[in-house]
Structure formats: structure tokens, C-alpha cells
Amino acid sequence: MSENMIFCLGEGKWEKAGIGYQKNYHAFNKPVSVERFNQIVDLIKNDILKDSKLELNEKTWSEEWEKVTKDQWKRISEIPEFDKDVVEGIIGFNIIDSQGYKIIRE
């Protein structure tokens, strides 16, 4: 994957093709400017998840994402570029229902 992507997903969960793969400056599979990309990364890394110690690798991918709190998922979902389907496809479980962004996991 490109280093200039955050919360992006290819055609399949682990596919190395499609909209979420090898595209620069994308967030939630949407093209963004360099400035906006940096804002989103800063918000997620240095604000929303600043106290989280996630160790994301293929072995523990969904277990690590389960450490993200209800409030943190709510704040991530408020990012204008947020795409529920992309995020849930990446993390492997549902975090939000289709009726008004109610967080499912604690």
C-alpha cells in the first residue's frame, strides 16, 4: 500500500488492486489534498488515538482495532471523509449501525 493513504481498502480485504491501493493522498478511499491528508493523519494519530498503543499487523488486525473505544470510533466517524463500509471492511467488524451512526462495540 501507499504510504499516503489512511483507512483505504482495495477491491477485496487483502487485495492489492482497486480504488484503495497504490493511490497517493487518499482517506477512506477518497482523494484528498496533501494538506487535508496531513490534517486527517494528525487528527487520528495525535488526537483521537494518541493514547492507544495499537500494534497493527496481519495476525492481530481485528483484535487491535477492538481496543479502540466507543468515543474514539465516534470521533473517527465524524471526519467528513469517513466511509463506514471502508472502515468496517478494513477492521473486520461492524462499528456503526445504519440508523444514525450508533456505535455497536464498546
Q: What is the pLDDT of residues 19-28, one digit of tens each?
A: 555 568 889 9
The grid coordinates of residue 40 equal: 486527517
Over the chain, what is the mean pLDDT? 77
Domain positions in the chain are: 5-91
**Under a CB-based contact definition with an 8 Å cutoff, are residues 64 and 55 in contact?**
yes
User: What pLDDT, on a 0 to 100 scale, did the predictor assign at position 14?
Assistant: 47
Distance set, CA 88 to CA 32, 33, 37, 81 (Å): 20, 24, 20, 14
DSSP 8-class letter at 96:
B
For residues 93 and 88, the model is more confident at: 88
User: What pLDDT, on a 0 to 100 scale, did the predictor assign at position 1?
Assistant: 46
Q: What does the alpha-carbon distance between residue 51 and residue 5 come to, in Å, rounded to a whole number?
A: 22
User: What pLDDT, on a 0 to 100 scale, did the predictor assign at position 106?
Assistant: 42
The grid coordinates of residue 47 equal: 488526537
Q: What does the alpha-carbon distance between residue 29 and residue 25 come to, in Å, rounded to a whole number?
A: 9
Residue 26 pairs in a beta bridge with 5, 31
Q: What is the pLDDT of residues 64-77, one digit of tens each?
A: 788 888 888 889 99
Tell me how crowded residue 105 is: count the other CB atoms within 10 A of its CB.
14
